[in-house]
Structure 1
């Protein structure tokens, strides 16, 4: 990444990277990506338990967290497994970002308990941990050795999914994002065989989510849909999924933020997250995610929150090259009308994201961010985007630093401005 500007002009660099990504996109379109059998609606987690019990597994490892197990959200699933005569054990030690030491423990429990399948029950961290465990045990490889694309020779054990948030779409995606606490980094394991065999979207499990988590996860799903739609790998299928997701999020996210007990809106948000997952698992994401991953790895910022904070800044950086796409999104989000000028619609959509964030209490700054960390964060984000994502416009490290600086806590920003003024006056 550092050497590229020395070899190419900015224009040449962008053209070169874009060409590589377009070729990669053609390959991706041909890659078979399975879709899980979906069970949707209240009580679907119990129905999934009955289905899994009929598959003849000897013992199921349920991967979740202690909040979920403590609230009794597993009861419908576990009761169904027991009724079906299927043994299970619960590993409920997953914490945000799915740290490698927890995955290592999950692998050990899977082996010692004699399990042969996994049910991931929870948010994105539980899903990612379950995928990493399932791929590691069949390939006899440490999770670190599976980081990257298709690093496992064997398919994972059968994985089933019950998401309890409407944001990640992990029940339909090919990736597992885990964290390396030793190096403060997030690592991605990608393999089309990581897609769960079956998943349940049960809105009853989501009614107790606090408003702030509802907001952050909903904005995560919105970011997935937008980045999939504006990137160079989009297809007619991913566009349909992304547009459906955006429309449903705009119709329902404010509703569930204010009234978490609304089952219809919760189910619609779960479907929107699912559709966004289907879109980005093939069309991929972009610079918002590249930056958010660094913020999550460094400061353990919740992924959805990091996406929500950075989304408007990155979209404005892209500028006119995505205005036609933003215009379509504006009409689907019902913040503009068909027939209005493209630039007007694009601006309306950008303003609607700002308004949605305000209504959901999304902060404009990231309190954990430190000015001294920004160069390294920007460098890592650009490397991730350049080598993985079909972004509509490539950014330099310097530009990325500016975008990240825009979300510095106010005290740090004021200090920076004062320092700049003193320097100018001294000169």
Structure 2
């Protein structure tokens, strides 16, 4: 009876959110696109009359020299900048507070997030702290806690996976408690985004694979959920097709700039889909595993997704069969269940081709109760999943993922 009542409450909660979606303050960032488009950014700042910016990035990108063109052009245009390059994978509260100090010290008026999902998450939450200086990050956890307008935020993705340049989500980690949780608010959607495929050409193959499958997870979870709209379904389907056509090309031929550009578009479209239709238990579980064991988020999603989709069973098979047909991997004579299984097998084979393992052996039984509790708190009642799961089911899933 308890589960029945909870399930009913969750579905009502999700239905209300879905009905409210068209009336909420969505925005899409203004896009600067094409090879070399990073050079247009200083001109944009000049148009906006912004003379001081904080750049949030990480040390690896600095060492690779990916910011060199931007820094050079900023200097030519007379725009002052401060650089915070200590962002770690799965950014921490400490990262945000350190970057925030730089923002205020240099009297910045805008933030440039330069990198993958981690710098973008860090930059978003720096913006949130600027707009809500008296609110600690822990109090921002969940939905619509920030509310107030943040400084101009410009996202420059150097990976094709998170879609953070168009989403309202930012994920933060507490390095003390190992908790990893999302902060969701419309004001966190970047105002501008730069899609320059040249910035992704130096990505190591394992980053290309992980981030590409991260985008796939966003699109698949959005599509199979219960809060889809005509727009989110279209965006998810286009993203999945682009990933299907281009991810392996980008992985095996890193210099293929057309494939890189297509993956940036796919990541963006997957972001459009999931920021409106939400994700599911793949993400909720991945966040806990990332928090406890430091598994990169895209890698965790790639490994976990086939396990969760299989566990959903008939609740998701109809939508998964549609995806199989969409990619041309479902045969006309096959049943719905067979097509769904073909799509799941396709995902497993994609992982294998890119040397992504099928299990996460680091999972320890002693950590499961806390991870299950956190995953449930994140997913229920917000995520409009095909099938609502509870403690016992999630425990089975964690064992399945462990292998």
Alpha-carbon distance between aligned partners in 2 of 1:91 and 1:273, rounded to the nearest angstrom: 25
CA contact (8 A) 2:146 2:187 kept: no
1:387 — aligned with what?
A: 381
Alpha-carbon distance between aligned partners in 2 of 1:199 and 1:354, rounded to the nearest angstrom: 32
Match of 2:63 among 70, 85, 91: 70
2:90 — aligned with what?
A: 97
CA contact (8 A) 1:54 1:84 kept: no
- Which portions of structure 1, spanning 4 or more consecutive aligned residues, are displaced by more than 6 angstroms? none
1:52 aligns to 2:45 (yes or no): yes
Match of 1:288 among 282, 307, 310: 282
**What's the CA shift for 1:114?**
0.7
CA contact (8 A) 1:43 1:76 kept: no
Alpha-carbon distance between aligned partners in 1 of 2:373 and 2:70, rounded to the nearest angstrom: 44
1:195 aligns to 2:189 (yes or no): yes
Moved more, 339-348 or 60-69: 339-348
Q: Which has the larger radius of gyration?
A: 1
1:305 aligns to 2:294 (yes or no): no
1:230 aligns to 2:224 (yes or no): yes
Alpha-carbon distance between aligned partners in 1 of 2:82 and 2:2, rounded to the nearest angstrom: 57
CA contact (8 A) 1:121 1:163 kept: yes
2:202 — aligned with what?
A: 208
C-alpha distance 165-48 of structure 1, shift in aligned 2 (>3 A): same
Cα RMSD of the aligned pairs, angstroms, is: 1.5
Alpha-carbon distance between aligned partners in 2 of 1:396 and 1:38, rounded to the nearest angstrom: 41
Alpha-carbon distance between aligned partners in 1 of 2:95 and 2:373, rounded to the nearest angstrom: 28
Indicate the SS of the match to 2:255.
coil
**What's the CA shift for 1:385?**
1.1
CA contact (8 A) 2:13 2:381 kept: no
* Matched pairs, number: 402
2:257 — aligned with what?
A: 263
CA contact (8 A) 1:136 1:146 kept: no
Alpha-carbon distance between aligned partners in 2 of 1:394 and 1:78, rounded to the nearest angstrom: 48
Q: How does 1:19-418 map to 2 (within 5 A)?
A: 19-141=12-134, 142-337=136-331, 340-408=334-402
Gaps of 5+ in 1: 1-7, 410-427
**What's the CA shift for 1:85?**
2.1
Alpha-carbon distance between aligned partners in 2 of 1:294 and 1:333, rounded to the nearest angstrom: 31
**What's the CA shift for 1:232?**
1.1
**What's the CA shift for 1:391?**
0.8
Moved more, 376-385 or 293-302: 376-385
CA contact (8 A) 1:47 1:77 kept: no
Alpha-carbon distance between aligned partners in 2 of 1:49 and 1:350, rounded to the nearest angstrom: 44
Indicate the SS of the match to 1:314.
helix
C-alpha distance 338-248 of structure 1, shift in aligned 2 (>3 A): farther
Gaps of 5+ in 2: none
